[in-house]
Amino acid sequence: MKYALVTGASSGFGMYTALELAYQGYHVLATMRDVNNRTQIEGVAREQATLERLTVLQLDVTKQEDLDRVATYLEQHSISVQVLVNNAGYCQSGFFQDLTEEEWQAQFQTNFFGAVRTTKALLPFIPRDGSGKIIAISSVSGFFGFPGMSAYVSSKFALEGWGESLRLELMNEGIWVSLVQPGAYRTKIWERGLEKVAGLQTGNAFQQYLVKEAMKSRDNGADPREVARLVAHIAQKSKPRFRYPIGKGAKTLAIGKRWLAWSWIEGYVDRYLKGKGTK
């Protein structure tokens, strides 16, 4: 039996990824901070006849004691984890001058250190025979610094840099590290991500426009099951690539960031936002 472990599996990318991997034949350890939120994932698994391949475990990636408990579970049941999906995270939006140090710390504790901590604890259970995969859910915000999202962007930039080093360290040991970089999708990440700015009534025209654009991205996001299918595809490849941008405009943005001069990108964004945001 092949095993996969997915963090943050109560909703969004995590839930759909866990369900897709179960559908593809993996026994999935679906972890979440509060196991009382298991109703939706178990309901869908029951409908797709994969409930017997789903085990829900409690795991808050910011708590080492939770990770130790999961590691003990794996050891006691002699489980090798072929696929580890570091998905747990949230989006802390807000303009830099409005964010507190506590909000920055919390963002990094989940999005970055949560993935580092989880991988460190579970690495001994990942096979080193070429079948082992570590897949982290990054974002287009991991390579492009969107205004009004500096904390989230920074945590994803950190995830990308760590992922590069980890990929090069582990590939010769038979473990493949990959990053998935979604654009805007319809997930609950927007609920917490936009709560700080959603009720913003003050601020200049530039800030107001950014808030409206964020709301538009939330409302027009794509189906998150696209990302889940991509993760399952990566999990089954013998030698997956490192980065996988996905979603409307994600690949174009990645190519543009790589090949265009920053002065051109900066000028375009400045003209676009000034032209739209001051009307």
pLDDT per position as a tens digit, 200-258: 545 556 556 656 655 665 566 578 899 999 999 999 999 999 999 998 888 888 888 88
Going by pLDDT thresholds of 50, 70 and 90, the confidence category of residue 277 is: very low
What pLDDT is stored for residue 2 in this prediction? 96
Q: Which residue's entry shows tokens 């696209």?
A: 226
Asked whether residue 7 carries a pLDDT value surpassing 60, the answer given is yes
Q: Which residue's entry shows tokens 């032209």?
A: 275
Neighbours of 81 (CB within 10 A): 23
Phi, psi of 30 (to 5 degrees): -90, 110
* C-alpha 115: how far from chain center: 10
Q: Report d(CA 159, CA 179) in Å as an integer.
A: 9
Contacts of 237 (CB under 8 A, 6+ apart): none
The answer, as to whether pTM is greater than 0.75, is yes
Between these two residues, 271 and 81, which has the higher pLDDT value?
81
| pLDDT tens digits, 105-131 | 999 999 999 999 999 999 999 999 999
CATH of the domain at 9: 3.40.50.720
Residues involved in catalysis: 152
| pLDDT tens digits, 142-166 | 888 888 889 999 999 999 999 999 9
Mean pLDDT, all residues of the chain:
88
| pLDDT tens digits, 79-97 | 999 999 999 999 988 889 9
246: left (phi over 0), alpha (psi -120 to 50) or beta: beta
Contacts of 106 (CB under 8 A, 6+ apart): 92
Structural domain range at position 167 = 3-277
Give the total number of structural domains in the chain. Answer: 1
Structure letter (DSSP) for residue 221: -
